[in-house]
Structure 1
Amino acid sequence: MPGQAGASVADAPLPHYTAEEKRHRIFAIVGASSGNLVEWFDFYVYAFSAIYFAGAFFPKSNPTVQLLNTAGVFAAGFLMRPIGGWLFGRIADRKGRKTSMVISVTMMCAGSLVIACMPTYAQIGAWAPFLLLLARLFQGLSVGGEYGTTATYMSEIALRGQRGFFSSFQYVTLIGGQLLAVLVIVILEQLLTEAELKAWGWRIPFVIGAVTAVVAMYLRRALSETHGEQGASNKEAGTIANLFKHHTPAFLTVLGYTAGGSLIFYTFTTYMQKFLVNTAHLPIKTTSYVMTCALFVYMCMQPLFGMLSDRIGRRTNMLLFGALGTLFTVPILTALASVSSPYMAFVLIILALAIVSFYTSISGIVKAEMFPPEVRALGVGLAYAVGNAIFGGSAEYVALALKTAGHETTFYWYVTVMMVVAFLVSLRLPRQASYLHHDH
């Protein structure tokens, strides 16, 4: 069974941490997760402010530029994430987690700063969308590498016995970045007219993103390293060859439940807004309020489900995720399709997100526990990026394509089948955490 080599030490007494050690480790969690929040804020702010800057970069009169726009979104969203997962995983396993995280947040800062200062199509012609595409590719690369390295670092630095709780803050900050991006846009909409937002106001969120990224970069530079000299000096550390030569079963296990986890996560977060408008026919503004409140509650759930995993075990959490997802996905989506009350929609979405929380709260640590230190960041980052790109990133397109073809309910069953896969793959998880118990 993958990752079970050290299971016998999992029952060893928990170490006693001094007050200074506890403070040090908690500061490290804050530093790592603050960078994660900034990364995701910068990434989502593009999506939420695109409605205001699209005209500045993509004039409809030029079909070539429109094609470039489409290609850019595709490349940034799908191509760059797996490359980022591989690149930053390799850096983290060879040069250290801290180095990888500092480079990642610096790249995101640079991308945001470039977008904030970029000339428009009217000023420099087709160079404007091309430069926007490059900046977006840069950001896609950065965010592709952020997940694996942060998950690895937070799992290694967290206090033993509370790893589920502390690791849950990776998704707290991921969702928090999305909520902050929405909040900044909402505040700007209150302060500026639509004409001002389209003329120059859309640049403000990118300036905020760049400034906060600089703060996160300095916080990360002060972090201690968790990757020892032995791992860094290992010539096979962070290599694809080493990963697949010795850890293919672990990689496939992680890929299996990441596929289901990413699919259901995107179904009930980013796609749900469109589902409530197009299928349930709720007003757009009402839907925005419902989803903002739901995301806030979902964010607050993560530490609770992380604490639960510290008590019942990561494997039990994952089995509950797969089983409940299998049983309730079709009933919840069927009920949401005909919902007329925003309050009922909110309750149903929270029920779904509670099931998803069994996975998201511990997704980083449960993946990190499958790999030894020398390929941990690479194994986590690459498996996540591939599973996310194929199943998570395509969730909306598959759902809308099936709806257009008149087979919307087929999507419900597609998600359910992937939940069955997640359940079956979770059966392969070791009953006790293994590799991480050797780290400190």
Structure 2
Amino acid sequence: MGAVSATAAGPADSRNIWRVIAASAGGTVIEWYDFYIFGSLSTVIASAFFPKGNPTVALLNTLAIFATGFLVRPFGALVFGRLGDLIGRKYAFLMTLLIMGGATTAIGLVPTYSQIGIAAPLIVLVLRLLQGLALGGEYGGAATYVAEHAPDGRRGFYTSFIQTTATLGLFVSLGVILIVRLSMSPEAFAAWGWRIPFLLSAVLLVLSAWMRMRLQESPLFQQLKAQGKTTQAPIRETFRNWKLVLLALLGATAGQAVVWYTGQFYALVYLQNTLKVDFVTANIIVAVALALGTPFFVVFGHLSDRIGRKPIMMAGNLIAALTYYPLYQLMHQNAGNPVVLTLLVWIQVLYVTMVYGPIAAFLVETFPGKIRYTALSLPYHLGNGWFGGLTPYISASLVASTGNIYAGVWYPTAVALITFVVGTFLLKETSVVSIWQETHATEATAD
């Protein structure tokens, strides 16, 4: 297959758009895999990098380190978003890939607490921060790159394949972990086997770097650059649009984020630590739910081209907020029934697909091309990094501090309701926006 390309005159043709999606999504799945194996292995990592004695404290400490990767994501969004708006989309998210893969591989090589003491969690913390910075630039690059190859009227459908990558990355991480775990004894896995999924990142890094290097720049960005319509100050111009960034955050990405991390991460923590479902069974439950739910990202992305982004995203937030509490009650009542538990987690994954499937197209259409990479990435990673990434830690802490096993859903319920209210009354529908009009206007003037 030759290098992926698009015409300079407009969107990619149907064959090229699928090549663009395959190359972009493949690398992004690997980056999400890298980022999420830490969370998927949180219960094992807790015993490796913290002193033994209080497993609850060790788990909370591990989740706190896990959360730091999310906290720095907005800073990565600014750093790599700026590069993407100045130099090009391709080069920025090639750099994020190299940083992510290197940091993930290194985590698999860090000695345990029993070997080097407090240095162990400190080293892991630094590597986790590097992961967060890299991911802060990855998503915006991939979403922007695909959107800037897609024709108007089909953007929700085509970008929805990028939206599957976060869930697929989590699914792959769970699958790899299960395969490694089932290939050895529990003792061997706890002692050294957990390192294998991290070290595997080195192989995946080579594969995804090859895929990324074969990409060409997006046609829309090339046109904007040729027409002198890019900017030398994307961060400053993004902050000039702070009201729009804040609205995208509170009216879209904050709620989307807590729904995502509740349905796909807190559900796993709840299964393992509250319901005491064994490690293998809990991971199988979530993995099956993810596999069954993933196609609905595309369903809702495609539907958003027809009826709009806003109705689907707002409905997902509202339904999630109204049903989380009874869903987690049902999970507790059916703790010994893996089939019912899988169904209940799958329902939560459906909520994720509703709020997440259309959001890449929504964000792309919200901001102008000259600052799109930076401006899109900032509210996305503020929402997913701060509101969403903290969900497992906040929810687990609420349970630990109150003694109420259902207290973990208070936080995502509140945030989802806020997003529903703000989004319903203040968000504009973006599916009617033509991002290609920015270049056509200049061409018409020149004629």
Residues 67-122 of structure 1, C-alpha deviation per residue, up to 9 Å, x if partnerless?
9x769816732432121111111111111111111101111122133334556667
- Asked if structure 1 preserves the Cα contact closer than 8 Å seen for 2:177 and 2:197, the reply is yes
Aligned-pair CA distance for 1:167: 1.1
Is 1:179 the counterpart of 2:179? The answer is no
Aligned-pair CA distance for 1:229: 5.9
- Asked if structure 2 preserves the Cα contact closer than 8 Å seen for 1:75 and 1:137, the reply is no
Greater mean deviation of Cα atoms: 414-423 or 374-383: 414-423
Q: C-alpha separation between the residues in 2 aligned to 1:17 and 1:373?
A: 14
Greater mean deviation of Cα atoms: 353-362 or 224-233: 224-233
Q: Paired residue for 1:99, among 91, 96, 99? A: 91
| Percent of aligned pairs sharing the same letter | 32
In structure 1, the partner of 2:365 is 369
In structure 2, the partner of 1:300 is 295
Q: Structure 2 matches for 1:14-413, cutoff 5 A?
A: 21-49=13-41, 58=50, 73=65, 76-118=68-110, 129-194=121-186, 196-197=188-189, 200-226=192-218, 227-228=221-222, 230-231=224-225, 236-237=231-232, 239-245=234-240, 247-256=241-250, 257-277=252-272, 279=274, 282=277, 285-340=280-335, 341-403=337-399, 404-406=401-403, 412=409
Aligned-pair CA distance for 1:313: 1.8
Residues 323-365 of structure 1, C-alpha deviation per residue, up to 9 Å, x if partnerless?
4334433443343343353333333332332233111112212
**What RMSD over aligned residues (CA atoms) do the two structures have, in Å?**
3.3
Segments of structure 2 that go 5 or more residues without pairing to the other structure are 1-8, 440-447
- Asked if structure 2 preserves the Cα contact closer than 8 Å seen for 1:273 and 1:287, the reply is yes
What is the number of residues matched between the two proteins? 418
- Asked if structure 2 preserves the Cα contact closer than 8 Å seen for 1:237 and 1:375, the reply is no
TM-score normalised by L of structure 2: 0.82
- Asked if structure 2 preserves the Cα contact closer than 8 Å seen for 1:156 and 1:439, the reply is no
Q: C-alpha separation between the residues in 2 aligned to 1:76 and 1:288?
A: 23
Tell me, what secondary structure is at the counterpart of 1:269?
A: helix
Residues 182-211 of structure 1, C-alpha deviation per residue, up to 9 Å, x if partnerless?
211221223234454456544432332122
- Asked if structure 2 preserves the Cα contact closer than 8 Å seen for 1:85 and 1:382, the reply is yes
Aligned-pair CA distance for 1:271: 0.7
Q: Which amino acid aligns with 1:418?
A: V
- Asked if structure 2 preserves the Cα contact closer than 8 Å seen for 1:106 and 1:214, the reply is no
- Asked if structure 1 preserves the Cα contact closer than 8 Å seen for 2:69 and 2:130, the reply is no
Aligned-pair CA distance for 1:153: 1.5
> Which has the bigger relative contact order, CA under 8 A and spacing at least 6?
1
Residues 241-299 of structure 1, C-alpha deviation per residue, up to 9 Å, x if partnerless?
21122x22321221012111111211121111232455556555443332221111122
In structure 2, the partner of 1:12 is none
